[in-house]
Amino acid sequence: MPVIEAIETPIAIDGHSVRISTSVGIATGRGEGADAARLFQNADVALYRAKAAGRNTYCFYEAEMEPKIAGMACLEHDMQGVLKSGGLSLDYQPVILLATGNIVGFEVLMRWEHPIRGKVPPSEFIPIAEQSGMIVCLGEWALVEACREAASWPEHLRIAVNVSAVQFRQPGLEESVRRALASSGLPADRLELEITESVLVQDAQAVIASLRRLRAIGVRIALDDFGTGYSSLSYLRQFPFNKIKIDRAFVHDIDDPNTAAIVRAVVGLGERVGAAIAAEGVETEEQLNRVRQEGCTEVQGYLVSPPCMRWTRRR
């Protein structure tokens, strides 16, 4: 679309090339009621869809979009005040080192208790927070809270915090990490940031440079959900991840010889690049034994414990 292309043209400011992205929602007066208020409303619905499609694109309004988008817009609206109203909390899921059977850390998972709808799963509210940009504030809040909490734990325990691709596209992430560490007093090597490959898809070189700076201050970096995205080996070559987390879909199907072979190959890769290999979503003793056989070094999953507000061992 010429409008998007025109706006996207890089602008030079103080020697930096700045690029503006645009999302456009389009509603026409045909068939869907032509009064101005309705047109604006329909254009908003189409805009929401354009943003959901990855931004920097356009979308025409269609009546079928309405129920789903309206629900998302409603949730987005309700999320606006969530940091002030205190509806957010963090759960912690233990990570076990297979060699010793000991807990070596916890992964932090965000929870949202909606005043009317009750618990909203992260799979619903995280994408909405990402589309609206709110994930930047929510992610920073999680980082600060998690570091503060971990600073009170025994020194050998680490904390792993999920970081969204949207947070990486904003300039302040490194500063937020430094601030969270400084204000909590948590040593940097006890903080692990979990990123997915989606972080690396756009402007991989800039992201890798940022990851290198974070590693230089001691922060550990884990590659999350490995196997579900692009699984590009070139990322592993370009950046020394401290950990590779094998997605739970592989653990679930580990009885399948092809799946087991992939897990084995990832373990081999991890060994080569000096990364720990964690198996996610371990639910049964059989899965535990299989991932151990294949060479995974750490496990997480309901078998040990689901994510909890306060951790108590179930077995």
What residue ranges bind ligand C2E (CB under 6 A)?
A: 93, 109-110, 121-123, 126, 135, 139, 142, 162-164, 194, 224-225, 248, 281-283, 300-302, 307
Helix axes 135-151, 173-184, angle to 10 degrees: 30
Q: How far is the CB of 300 from ligand C2E (least distance, A)?
A: 6
- Within residues 118-177, the interface with Ca ion by CB under 5 A covers 162
Q: How far is the CB of 155 from Ca ion (least distance, A)?
A: 23
Q: How far is the CB of 174 from ligand C2E (least distance, A)?
A: 16
195: left (phi over 0), alpha (psi -120 to 50) or beta: beta
Binder of Ca ion out of 130, 145, 225, 294 (CB under 5 A): 225
Q: Which stretch binds Ca ion (CB under 5 A): 14-22, 51-59, 269-277, 279-287?
A: 279-287
Closer to ligand C2E by CB, 61 or 106: give it: 106
Q: How far is the CB of 159 from Ca ion (least distance, A)?
A: 12
- Which partner, Ca ion, ligand C2E, none, binds residue 121 by CB below 5 to 8 Å per kind? ligand C2E
- Which partner, Ca ion, ligand C2E, none, binds residue 109 by CB below 5 to 8 Å per kind? ligand C2E
Q: How far is the CB of 281 from Ca ion (least distance, A)?
A: 8
Q: How do beta strands 102-114 and 118-120 pair?
A: antiparallel
- Which partner, ligand C2E, Ca ion, none, binds residue 110 by CB below 5 to 8 Å per kind? ligand C2E
Closer to ligand C2E by CB, 194 or 298: give it: 194
Closer to ligand C2E by CB, 126 or 147: give it: 126
- Which partner, Ca ion, ligand C2E, none, binds residue 276 by CB below 5 to 8 Å per kind? none
Q: Which stretch binds Ca ion (CB under 5 A): 36-44, 60-68, 188-196, 303-311?
A: 188-196
Closer to Ca ion by CB, 25 or 301: give it: 301
- Dist CA 141 CA 182 (whole Å): 14
Closer to Ca ion by CB, 122 or 295: give it: 122
- Dist CA 139 CA 176 (whole Å): 10
Closer to Ca ion by CB, 69 or 173: give it: 173
Residues of the shown chain interacting with Ca ion in the complex, contacts defined by CB under 5 A? 162, 194, 224-225, 280
